[in-house]
Amino acid sequence: MTIFLVGFMGCGKSTVARGLAELSGFRYVDLDQEVCRKAQRESVAEIFAEMGEEKFRRLEREAIEHLSTEGDVVVATGGGAPCYGDNMDRLMELGVTVYLRMSADALTERLQRVRVVRPKIVGLSPEELSEYVRGLLVEREPIYNRARVVVDCDGIPSRVVISRLRYLTKKRN
Ligand code: S3P
């Protein structure tokens, strides 16, 4: 069984995916890391800088197609992954999709705090970041909302989100 976590940058997909996988004996896969491996680059930022976003999106799609969904896997997808082409349809065909929903305010606050280099938000002032998150979330949320499971994550610690999702990995066929 494959579980795909989708949601905006900063909503905690990687932490939740890693924790859920560990707790459930599933393999953990990070889609961004898969893309980096394919591109033979160290980071997403490097791919954006050297190859551009369009190429990144093509590689991202290929990574989705080539994901080994053998056995039990929890995949943390990139925030934009479901939002390009028919990627969301594809994710829904391949496994159980889970949207980690978080408000624009909470996302902005977390993205401000967690200073991982994300090419789409690098160099934005706090005001610009807030506006950017709000606008992009409005665009993307209808796609995220198609996920089979939606979990509200505002103000909820990752370990609680993980325990709320645990039933999914127990339901084996
Ligand atoms: C992106 C989100 C990133 C990464 C890339 C683009 C986006 O992943 O795929 O920087 O378009 O929202 P995270 O959601 O893991 O930060």
Q: What is the mean pLDDT of residues 100-109?
A: 97
| Ligand 1, atom 3: closest residue by C-alpha | 78
- Residue 32, ligand 1, Cβ within 6 A: yes
Q: Which of 143, 164, 140 is nearest to 152 (CA)?
A: 164
Residue 116 in domain: yes
Number of domains in the chain: 1
pLDDT in tens, 1-20: 999 999 999 999 999 999 99
pLDDT in tens, 49-99: 999 999 999 999 999 999 977 789 999 999 999 999 999 999 999 999 999
Residue 168 in domain: no
State the DSSP code for 83.
Answer: G
How far lies 125's CA from each of 8, 63, 104, 105, in Å?
19, 32, 16, 15
> How many whole angstroms separate alpha carbon 28 and alpha carbon 100?
17
Residue 170 in domain: no
Considering the chain, what is the average pLDDT of its residues?
Answer: 94
Residue 164 in domain: no
Residue 171 in domain: no
CA 104 to ligand 1 centroid distance, Å: 15
- Residue 140, ligand 1, Cβ within 6 A: no
CA 71 to ligand 1 centroid distance, Å: 26
Residue 121 in domain: yes
> How many whole angstroms separate alpha carbon 63 and alpha carbon 87?
11
Supply the CATH number for residue 142's domain.
3.40.50.300
- Residue 80, ligand 1, Cβ within 6 A: yes
Q: Domain of residue 131: give its range.
A: 2-158
